[in-house]
Structure 1
Amino acid sequence: MLNRLVAVLFFSALMLIPGVAQSTEDSQSLFESGKAALESGRTDDAAAIFSRLIEANPQAAAFYYRGLAYSAAGRDTLALQDFDRAVSMEPDQAIYHMGKGISQIRTANYQDAIKSFSRVLELDPENVQVFSLRAKALFHQGQSVHAMEDLTQGIRRNPNNAALYKLRGDILSSAGEYDSAVQDYDVAIRLKPNDPAAHNNRGIALANLGKVKEAVEDLNRAMDIASSTPAQVRVPGISGNPW
């Protein structure tokens, strides 16, 4: 199975990138085989198939999908190289910049990631998810205020996105603003009741407010949902880094 971010990129690409341009029937069939391998989690097979396509006829779509395969396999440096190649070939394709930005985050190139996500918004202003991604890069660059602004913008555009409230709560909690953090976690949990990280992080914020009983209830709820311990569930942000 694909991890969440790779899955988002994959299924977005299905709508935006139907296949390789000027392809033969055989190459289009091979392209579809590569996508099927990627979707089923056979990342090595997918990378090999897209490599064959690239060798025969290098096109941006093939580099992009091979980048997804590398990303799903945790080979982020190779993924970044492929996304960068796709961007250089088709610079107006927002999804390519998004893949590049995610790989830049994973390789700790946060300043470059900010530029990539800003370009996504220029090309696709309605892309709400990119606000949370750029916020992550901004936070890692020490720009917490701008990260908060991005998350707030995302919330205005999509007020039912639990992840945005949860991430904003993480930043507030890491800054010691526990009351405000709890308010955001409350909304996140109302929208997505079975998110163990939101329960866990709200519990930590409540504990810092001295509300021990409520904190324990949240931490226990997180354990029940995740069948784990708070240490395993906790997003490592409450001590300073919400991602």
Structure 2
Amino acid sequence: MKYLSILIVFSICLFSCEEQDELEKANQFYNSGEYKKAIQAYNEHLEMKPSHEIAIYNRGRAYEETGQYEKALKDFQKVIEINPRNIGAYLSYGKQYYREKDYENAAFQFEKAYKLNTNSSKSATLLARAFHKSGKVEEAMEYYNIAINTDRENAEAFFYRGALKLHLSQSGACNDIQMAKNIGYEGADDFYNQYCN
């Protein structure tokens, strides 16, 4: 009986270690940009653990990187079913809509993420961008302000708030673009030279 117990514990540990190794391998492929290999490794891991939230989410991200957006969307939906508080899944889901220029649904998903963590400058920025693109300028300005107040290094929020201020002929536009430029936002330098010099 004693040996049977040891054998069972050993088997569980071996199986658990094997699952962990498979997940780590998949994550390494993902981090090195080998997305097709990552998908294959996530699939192998998910055969053993079909409801593993992190593996499903990461596989969705890998699908996204390879342009398989429908499969990515299904994975993000599944993650939300498993854990309705997974902020990353809502953001990724929203980005899918944003990519398709469906800014209303993108905003809907980004707002869900933001409500789960009102200290997330990233969620506030994405929500502002979706509002901005759908022409809801007051809402966009509100969430750019929130994003910047939450994170003074959020170059993207500074840049797009500045662009929106320019569009609305509001003061402080070039200060925002300058801030984005100082933080190192790509394209801010050219934009500043074109509109603020």
Corresponding residue of 1:51: none
> What is the aligned length?
181
Q: Do the aligned residues in 1 keep the contact of 2:57 with 2:75 (CA within 8 Å)?
A: yes
> Do residues 150 (structure 1) and 109 (structure 2) align?
yes
Moved over 3 A (4+): none
> Do residues 23 (structure 1) and 14 (structure 2) align?
yes
Q: More helix per residue: 1 or 2?
A: 2
Alignment deviations for residues 91-148 of structure 1 (CA, whole Å, 9 cap, x no partner): 1111111111111111122221111011111212222222111111222244332221
Corresponding residue of 1:14: none
Counterparts of 1:6-21 in structure 2 under 5 Å? none
Q: Do the aligned residues in 2 keep the contact of 1:101 with 1:114 (CA within 8 Å)?
A: yes
Q: Structure 1 88/137 Cα, relative in aligned 2: closer, same or farther at 3 Å?
A: farther
Q: Structure 1 90/164 Cα, relative in aligned 2: closer, same or farther at 3 Å?
A: same
Q: Do the aligned residues in 2 keep the contact of 1:110 with 1:140 (CA within 8 Å)?
A: no
Corresponding residue of 1:230: 188
> Do residues 220 (structure 1) and 178 (structure 2) align?
yes
* Alignment gaps of 5+ in structure 1: 1-19, 29-58, 234-243
**Amino acid in the other structure paired with 2:13:** Q
CA-based RMSD of the aligned residues comes to: 2.5
**Amino acid in the other structure paired with 1:22:** C
Larger Rg: 2
How far off is 1:165 after superposition? 0.8
Normalised by the length of structure 2, the TM-score is 0.81
**Amino acid in the other structure paired with 1:205:** L
> Do residues 62 (structure 1) and 53 (structure 2) align?
no
**207, 210, 223: which one aligns with 2:169:** 210
What is the percent sequence identity of the aligned residues?
19
How far off is 1:227 after superposition? 7.5
* Alignment gaps of 5+ in structure 2: 1-10, 192-197
Q: State how far apart, in whole Å, the 2-side matches of 1:142 and 1:89 are.
A: 37
